[in-house]
Amino acid sequence: MTWKILIVEDDADTAKYIAQGLVQEGHVVDLVDDGRDGLFQASSGLFDLIILDRMMPGMDGLSLLRALRASGVATPVLVLSALGTVDERICGLEAGADDYLVKPFSFAELIARAAALMRRQRNGAELTDTRIVVGDLEIDCLKRLVRRNSRTIELQPREYKLLEFLARNEGRVITRTMLIERVWHYHFDPGTNVVDVHISRLRRKLDAGFDRPLLHTIRGAGYRLSAEA
């Protein structure tokens, strides 16, 4: 799928690095290096995603974002910033950002987050689905029942939440920080492999005794729940 992405970023190196990566992934990218031009372009509503730097000449990213949201443009916005404390992240999200990524970041993290935003945008209805199917895995969101190949899988409440989040993002790479933010609602990096342990426990319950694993580890990026390998 090809997305049309607007990058508003004054640092030429960062902008080029992101743009190259996105173009390689097969997307169409527009680059703007000034806040005012950024607002003008973004207001067109023609983009699927806006990647927005927080500190820029002309107009800072959050002012741009507030102006954009005030004028009714709902395009998903991913804010990039060197300002990474918890309060600054919360401030960014409150200004209307859909996600907030702190510099320096890995490209895999950026792609994973962008993909999650696009999914939310395109298939918003899916978020309210009460039944999710991934291959032979079946999740009943109302009863919180998980069955694989007609065999019920007993999960702890947190394991269930983890699985539901991964299943709603079927086929997408989800990073560790995304899981910490979305499943535990923490905005700090615990620093250890705390998420990995949760995942490996979930995997033991989910994939044990089946030939084809559903929960895949993507090296250097995160995890993906998918029927395909």
Partner 1 sequence: MRLPPIPTTFRIAALTMLLVLCSNIALLGFIHASTYNDRLSPLRRQVIADASALSDIYASGGEPKLAGAIGDMLAADSSELTIGLYDRDGRQRAGNLLPPPKRQFDRSSGFQTASVSLRNGRRGEAGLMTIALKDGGWLMSGRLFGEPLALQRTIERALMISLCLSVLFGVVCAVILAHFVRRRVRAIGRAVDDFGHRDLALRAPTEGSGDVFDKLADHINAMLDRIATLMTELRVLTDSLAHDLRSPVGRLRVKVEQALALTDPDQRDAALAGVLVEADGLTHILTTVLEIGRYEALASRDQFVWLDPGELLDELADLYGPLVDEAGLVLEVARNGPVLPVFGHRQLLAQAISNLIENALKHAASGAVICLFAQSRGDSQCIGVADRGPGIAQDQVEHALSRFGRLDAARTRPGAGLGLSLVQAIAHLHDGKVDLEDNGPGLIAALRIPGAIGRRSSGAAAA
Residue 189 binds partner 1 (CB under 8 A): yes
Q: How far is the CB of 200 from partner 1 (least distance, A)?
A: 8
Torsion sign, CA atoms 72, 19, 109, 116: positive
Of 47, 124, 57, give the one whose Cα is nearest residue 78.
Answer: 47
Start-to-end CA span in the chain (Å): 20
List 44, 123, 149, 193, residue binding partner 1 (CB under 8 A) = 193
Paired with 74 in beta bridges are none
Angle, helices 35-42/61-70, rounded to nearest 10 degrees: 30
106 CB-near residues (< 8 Å, 6+ apart): 220, 221
Q: Which is nearer to partner 1, 85 or 123 (CB)?
A: 85
* CB 105 to partner 1: min, Å: 9
Helix (H, G, I), strand (E, B) or coil at 133: strand
Q: Does 186 bind partner 1 (CB under 8 A)?
A: yes
The residues facing 77 across adjacent strands are 50
- Kindly identify the residues of this chain, within the stretch 100-139, that bind partner 1 according to CB under 8 A: 102, 104, 106
Shortest distance, CB of residue 86 to partner 1, whole angstroms? 5
Q: Are 130 and 168 in contact (CB under 8 A)?
A: no
Q: Does 13 bind partner 1 (CB under 8 A)?
A: no
Interface mask toward partner 1 for 78-97; x: CB under 8 A: ------xxxx--x-------
Query: Is 144 among the residues that bind partner 1 (CB under 8 A)?
Result: no
Q: Look up residue 97 and give its two tokens.
A: 């950002």
- Burial of residue 65 (CB within 10 Å: 0-12, 13-18, 19+) is buried
Span near partner 1 by CB under 8 A; candidates 17-25, 31-39, 135-143, 179-187: 179-187
Nearest distance in Å: CB 144, partner 1: 16
Q: Is 12 in the site for partner 1 (CB under 8 A)?
A: no
Residue ranges that bind partner 1, judged by CB under 8 A = 84-87, 90, 102, 104, 106, 158, 184, 186-194, 197-198, 201, 220
